Chain A
Amino acid sequence: MISSDVMRGYNDMLILYLVYDAPSYGYEISKQIKEMSEGVYVMKETTLYSAFSRLEKMKYIEAFFGDESGGKRRTYYRITEEGRQYYREKCIEWREIQQVVEKFIRK
């Protein structure tokens, strides 16, 4: 189980990845994070919401109301052009971090 402290700085990237192709909503995103990490990382609701709210302030995502066929009115999040840009920068940053840290792993 990875704690959200360790993931700090990359929570935003995970969310942007999940709304990159199509808008999504809170629970769907948290479920996908859990599934993609094979249960190793479970993002808490409060972490998720604070990330949404931060990303929205930075204009990386936009919130809008959507009605699903089920009938529940949910807040959906859609990525903006700035968001995509930011996501790509984060990816490059991660590659660099990974390369640096890798050098310090004793084999």
Chain B
Amino acid sequence: METIRIYLENMFMHVKSTPEVEKAKAELYSMMEDKYQELKKEGRSENEAVGIVISEFGNLDELAAELGIEETVADSSEIEGVHVTLEEAKQYCKEQAKAGIRYGIASMLCVLCPIMLILMGGLQEEYGFADGIVAAGGLIPLLLIIACAVAIFIVTGISMSKYEKYEKEELFLDYATKQFVEAQREDGKLTFALQIAFGVFLCIIAVVPLIIVGSMELSSDMPAVLCVLVMLAIISVAVFFFVSAGTKSDAYHVLLQEEEYRADRKRKGSPLYIFDSIYWPVVTLIYLVWSFLTMQWHITWVIWPVAGILSAVFEAIIRAVSKE
């Protein structure tokens, strides 16, 4: 309930207080309070109730004429950046969650693709198949599965490309939208943590059958091969959880402009923007020149982890310097 009160205060923050404005605020608060109480009575969670009340509040523009505050409202709409409305934010979160499931399935397929190949390899040891049969029975399913995964990645990527501007350009969210996104994230926090924890748990137990079978010193390799298949299956489920949960929560980072989507990264000409656009191409160039000159490819790869760590260092320095 406190959130709703603060929300209302913030909506009216730049509006001069007149008797009409105060009356409107009181009446709006009363209506929101009633709605909130009723939603709670229906068994909604605190965050859900607040989210619904805020999303159904509407727009200050509608009150402008009645309250004689047109100027204030017009002023606040002249903020730079791509304006994301509440409806758009909702739609984006919904589509991103759906895309997460698709990406999750595609990633799962990538993990599962060698299953037939491994199985055929195991069977060959046991029954002495010809190499040709193993290759056909193993590689064809592998390629088919990968083709499916790639198709899913591409189709999903294209359907989400309309939201690219959210990632690349500075965003402006009005208070209601921001509140909604934050409430959504708060609501999904537990599910997110559970999904990640469950994924980690699966990754750890995935190797258990293999360890047990390995310690038994069996004469045949077949049990071990089967254990590898089980391991891949379990890991693929874990990967599904990581990817789908991660993609979904990425939407909140994008909308709230956090981490790699921070506004100062997107501002053209800002030190970080310049850094982002030249750093990795330069690193790649150094890698290629160094590698081709020395032909020591087995050593030159080391540039990648080093560059990764250095990028974090440079970023911190740039941020510290540009703040001053």
| A46 engages B63 (CB within 8 Å) | yes
| B58 engages A46 (CB within 8 Å) | yes
Smallest distance from the beta carbon of A29 to chain B beta carbons, Å?
Answer: 9
| B34 engages A26 (CB within 8 Å) | yes
B6 within 8 A of A: no
| A44 engages B27 (CB within 8 Å) | no
B56 within 8 A of A: yes
Interface size on B, residues (CB 8 A): 20
Smallest distance from the beta carbon of A76 to chain B beta carbons, Å?
Answer: 11
Interface string of B55-82 (1 = CB under 8 A from A): 0111110110111000000000000000
Contact partner of A49 (CB less than 8 A), chosen from B28, B34, B35, B65, is B28
A48 within 8 A of B: yes
Smallest distance from the beta carbon of B35 to chain A beta carbons, Å?
Answer: 6
Residues of A within 8 A of B58 (CB): 4, 44-47
Residues of A within 8 A of B30 (CB): 25-27, 72, 74-75
* Stretch of A50-58, A83-91, A95-103 with 4 or more beta carbons under 8 angstroms from chain B: A50-58
Residues of A within 8 A of B140 (CB): none
- Contact A54/B62 with A30-B35, A45-B57 known, Cβ cut-off 8 Å: no
Considering only residues 10-30 of chain A, those with a C-beta below 8 Å from chain B are 25-28, 30
| B38 engages A42 (CB within 8 Å) | no
Q: How many A-B residue pairs have CB under 8 A?
A: 60
Contact partner of A50 (CB less than 8 A), chosen from B31, B32, B63, is B63
| A48 engages B31 (CB within 8 Å) | yes
| A46 engages B57 (CB within 8 Å) | yes
A84 to B99, CA, bound (A): 52
| B38 engages A49 (CB within 8 Å) | no
Of chain B, the residue at the smallest CB distance from A26 is B31
Residues of B within 8 A of A75 (CB): 27, 30
- Contact A54/B66 with A27-B34, A31-B38, A45-B28 known, Cβ cut-off 8 Å: yes
Residues of A within 8 A of B27 (CB): 26, 49, 52, 75
Interface size on A, residues (CB 8 A): 21
| A46 engages B35 (CB within 8 Å) | no
Residues of A within 8 A of B67 (CB): 53
Contact partner of B65 (CB less than 8 A), chosen from A28, A30, A44, A50, is A50
Considering only residues 52-92 of chain A, those with a C-beta below 8 Å from chain B are 52-54, 72, 74-75
Smallest distance from the beta carbon of B119 to chain A beta carbons, Å?
Answer: 51
B24 within 8 A of A: yes
Of A30, A45, A53, A74, which is in contact with the most chain B CB atoms at under 10 Å from its CB?
Answer: A45
Smallest distance from the beta carbon of A1 to chain B beta carbons, Å?
Answer: 10
| A47 engages B62 (CB within 8 Å) | yes
Of B20, B31, B59, B60, which is in contact with the most chain A CB atoms at under 10 Å from its CB?
Answer: B31
Smallest distance from the beta carbon of B22 to chain A beta carbons, Å?
Answer: 13
| B38 engages A50 (CB within 8 Å) | no
A45 to B35, CA, bound (A): 10
- Contact A46/B28 with A27-B34, A27-B35 known, Cβ cut-off 8 Å: yes
27 A-B residue pairs with CB within 8 Å: A4-B62, A26-B27, A26-B30, A27-B34, A30-B31, A30-B35, A42-B56, A44-B57, A44-B58, A45-B31, A45-B32, A45-B56, A45-B58, A46-B28, A46-B62, A46-B63, A47-B58, A48-B31, A49-B27, A49-B31, A49-B66, A50-B66, A53-B63, A53-B66, A54-B66, A74-B30, A75-B27
Give chain A's interface residues, CB within 8 Å of chain B. Answer: 4, 25-28, 30-31, 42, 44-50, 52-54, 72, 74-75
3 shortest A-B CB distances, which residue pairs? A44-B58, A46-B58, A27-B34
